């Protein structure tokens, strides 16, 4: 009986991590901002929406054409350089609006500056949209 109880407790302990709720849009943006601040280009890239990735790829190609051999023509190579400078150390992130496929999160950084960030759901995961990328 004691062994059966131990197995039941162990099974429950192993199952609990799988029961965690999926990260919401505010949680996802907090992780995105932390990855950008830390210069983790792979993590940042994985948290961007397909549309944002395409925009960074287009920007990288344009920069590469203007300076052949100097700028790698991949968005992933420039994403942190563009975002790290602007990545806030967050004081708060609050979901203002959320639907099945999109959310708007109000963020406030440590200086009190506020803004809104749009996230979209792709493949069951929240992905960050970025404002229009200048050329």
101 or 73, which is more confident = 101
Task: Please report, for the chain, the start and end positions of each structural domain, with discontinuous segments joined by +.
Answer: 25-128
pLDDT above 80: residue 129: yes
Average pLDDT (65-86) is 73
Highest CATH level, class, for 25-128: alpha beta
Q: What's residue 79's pLDDT? A: 78
Range among 6-10, 21-25, 41-45, 79-83 with highest mean pLDDT value: 41-45
**Rounded-to-integer distance, Cα 37 and Cα 80, Å:** 8
Instruction: Please name which of 134, 127, 129 lies closest in space to residue 115, comparing C-alpha atoms.
Output: 129
Helix, strand, coil abundance in the chain, percent, nearest 5: 45, 25, 30
Whether residue 127 is predicted with pLDDT greater than 80 in this model: the reply is yes
**Pair 84, 36: CB distance under 8 Å:** yes
Q: What is the pTM of this model?
A: 0.75
């Amino acid at each position: 009986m004691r062994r059966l109880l131990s197995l039941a407790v162990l099974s429950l302990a192993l199952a609990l991590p799988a029961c965690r709720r999926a990260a919401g849009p505010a949680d996802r943006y907090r992780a995105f901002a932390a990855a950008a601040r830390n210069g983790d280009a792979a993590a940042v890239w994985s948290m961007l929406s397909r549309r944002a990735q395409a925009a960074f790829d287009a920007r990288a190609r344009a920069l590469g054409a203007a300076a052949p051999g100097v700028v790698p023509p991949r968005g992933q190579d420039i994403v942190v350089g563009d975002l790290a400078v602007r990545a806030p150390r967050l004081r708060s992130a609050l979901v203002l609006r959320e639907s099945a496929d999109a959310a708007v999160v109000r963020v406030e950084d440590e200086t009190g500056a506020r803004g809104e960030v749009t996230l979209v759901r792709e493949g069951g995961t929240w992905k960050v949209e970025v404002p229009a990328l200048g050329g």
